[in-house]
Amino acid sequence: MCSFCNQHTISGAEKVPSAEEVREICEKAFNEIRCPENTEIAFFGGSFTAIPRDYMIQLLETAYKFVGDGKFHGIRISTRPDCIDREVLELLKKYGVTAIELGAQSMNDDVLEANDRGHTSDDVFNACRLIREYGFELGLQMMVGLYKSTEKIEFETVDDIVEIRPDTVRIYPVVILKGTKLAELLESDEYKPFESETVFDICSVALMRFEYEGIKVIKCGLHASEFVERDMVGGFYHPAFREVCESLIYRWRTEEFIAYNEHQDNIYRIAVNPSCISKAVGQKKSNVEYFRSRGIEIKFIGDGNIPVYEVGEVK
């Protein structure tokens, strides 16, 4: 039980699935999904390789029947860095697991200890090396704003993740749930979370850095959940967290562009990737209004030659 954990709330489940329930879920999904070969079966909501071995094998055996030969692409699991070894990886490979995500959360040992993670940063590095050796897709999960963390520590964690070079990353801002150690620390005033602006800044920089380094960010912000909204007592939940971060990135980029390309009439036409026009405009046109409040008119134009999170001149 880590400082932030209430697994029933996070996963939205009140009990663990049986092998039969896994079979029913996979069968239903296979019959409904148009392209199952581009889809993975995923086990989340806990540390998959830390559950009893017989139970883990039951779940894998059941799911594996739906993998390959026109069925699902593979199986994705989430687990702890200290619950990875060669024996486990051999088992996962045998039963069609293709991707392993590790809940690193932080790469600072003091933060890991303060939040009862039960593993060290070395465990993360070692597990990543083994996962790579066995040919799995590697994912890392980072949690921003944990107890005892600082802005400096967060950016050092980003640096370490870039050094590891996983295939994917999930960026989770801390959400404080009732019934957790963080909730107790918050109530006693021992834990003082970051300001919201700081969290959005850190997550936006991390998102931008990972994408520039070719590391795919597959999640930024905790997924929308009635359970999270019900049990949240603090922290940084927003149903469109990533969209807010991407809007902030484009605000920064636009400010840089204006600083180097001043127009006397304060009217700008700025090129962005066509897939990112709504991000540049900002959630609920927040960026357009931000610049308008400063006497600057902006119109974003699609240009397929402009990379994601970059801006340029309209040709």
Question: Quick one: 81 and 133 in the same domain?
Answer: yes
Q: Are residues 185 and 281 in the same domain?
A: no
| Residue 182 near residue 147 (C-beta atoms within 8 A) | yes
Rg (the chain; Cα; Å):
22
CATH code, 292: 3.30.300
Left if phi > 0, otherwise alpha if psi is -120 to 50, otherwise beta: which for 294?
A: alpha
Q: Describe the strand order of the beta sheet including 297-302 as a list of residue ranges.
A: 297-302, 267-272, 312-313
Q: How many angstroms from the chain centroid is the CA of residue 61? A: 28
Q: Pick the range with the lowest mean pLDDT from 13-17, 152-156, 232-236.
A: 13-17
162-166, 204-208, 221-225, 254-258 — which is least confidently predicted?
221-225
Claim to verify: residue 39 and residue 99 sit in the same structural domain: yes
**Cα–Cα distance for residue pair 232/164, rounded to 1 Å:** 32
**Residue 28 forms part of a structural domain:** yes
Give residue-wise pLDDT tens across range 11-67.
Answer: 555 578 899 999 999 999 999 998 899 999 999 877 999 999 999 999 999 999 999
Phi-psi group of 194: left, alpha or beta (phi > 0 → left; psi -120 to 50 → alpha; rest → beta): beta
* 271 three-class SS: strand
- The dihedrals phi and psi of 51, each to the nearest 5 degrees, come to -75, 165
Structural domain including 157 reads 7-239
Q: What is the pLDDT of residue 275?
A: 96
Number of folded domains that form the chain: 2
The structure's pTM equals: 0.92
Question: What CATH number does residue 128 fall under?
Answer: 3.20.20.70
Residue 244 in any domain: the answer is no
Domain final residue, candidates 199, 219, 239: 239
Q: How far apart, in Å, are the Cα atoms of 77 and each of 32, 290, 312?
A: 22, 41, 40
Same-domain pairing of 224 and 267 = no
Q: Are 227 and 277 contained in the same domain?
A: no
Query: What is each CA distance from 52 to 8, 276, 301, in whole angstroms?
Result: 18, 45, 55
Span 59-95, pLDDT tens digits: 999 999 999 988 999 999 999 999 999 999 999 999 9
Residue at which a domain ends, from 239, 269, 287 = 239
Is 106 part of any domain? yes
